[in-house]
């Protein structure tokens, strides 16, 4: 299935966002938003950008087990699906933040969490697009 996909790297304070191109092949960083009004902001982006699918990162431990962070991400994904009226898929996000940190080390502003969160969402989305063929 082709079309725009929006990815959210959920956190209790900030949410990194990335969006695919119109044909669902490449991921681009989009924004970092505050989690308190995220549902409204993401719903507006879904409408404005013509998003067909949403994905939310699912934090897991190295063993694959889900902890309290995973429960919060699942709750957010459910509320997002209700608010936006489109399906939200949970995608394993192990290592996305670690990869983002490695990419950003030494670059201006690399210690900013917002840069890391946005890049982590982009890495998550690009992996999803490559795995699922967009």
User: pLDDT for 50-71, tens place per residue?
Assistant: 999 999 998 876 666 777 788 8
Instruction: Judge whether 134 lies within some domain.
Output: no
- At 42, is the pLDDT very low, low, confident or very high (cuts 50, 70, 90)? very high
30 within a domain of the structure (yes/no)? yes
Inside any domain, residue 45: yes
Which has more pLDDT, 52 or 116? Answer: 52
Identify whether 62 is part of a domain. Answer: yes
Rounded Cα distance between 88 and 80, Å, is 7
CA–chain centroid gap for 16, Å, is 6
**CB contact at 8 A, 18 and 35:** no
CA distance 111 to 109: 5
- Ranked by mean pLDDT, which of 59-68, 86-95, 123-132 comes out on top? 123-132
The better pLDDT of the pair 21, 113 is held by 21
- CB of 8 closer than 8 Å to CB of 16: yes
Within a domain: 89: yes
The domain total for the chain is: 1
Q: Domain limits at 75?
A: 4-129
Distance CA 77, CA 52 (A): 15
Measured distance CA(81)–CA(46) in Å, rounded: 11
Can you give the CATH number for the domain in which 92 is found?
A: 3.30.420.140
């Amino acid at each position: 299935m082709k079309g725009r996909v929006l990815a959210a790297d959920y956190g209790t304070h900030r949410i990194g966002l990335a969006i695919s191109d119109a044909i669902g092949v490449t991921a681009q960083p989009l924004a970092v938003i505050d989690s308190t009004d995220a549902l409204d902001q993401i719903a507006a982006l879904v409408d404005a950008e013509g998003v067909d699918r949403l994905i939310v990162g699912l934090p897991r431990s190295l063993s694959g087990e889900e902890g309290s962070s995973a429960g919060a991400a699942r709750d957010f994904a459910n509320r997002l699906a209700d608010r936006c009226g489109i399906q939200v898929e949970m995608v394993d996000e192990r290592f996305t933040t670690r990869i983002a940190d490695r990419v950003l080390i030494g670059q201006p502003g690399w210690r900013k969490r917002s840069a890391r969160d946005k890049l982590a969402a982009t890495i998550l989305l690009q992996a999803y697009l490559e795995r699922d063929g967009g």
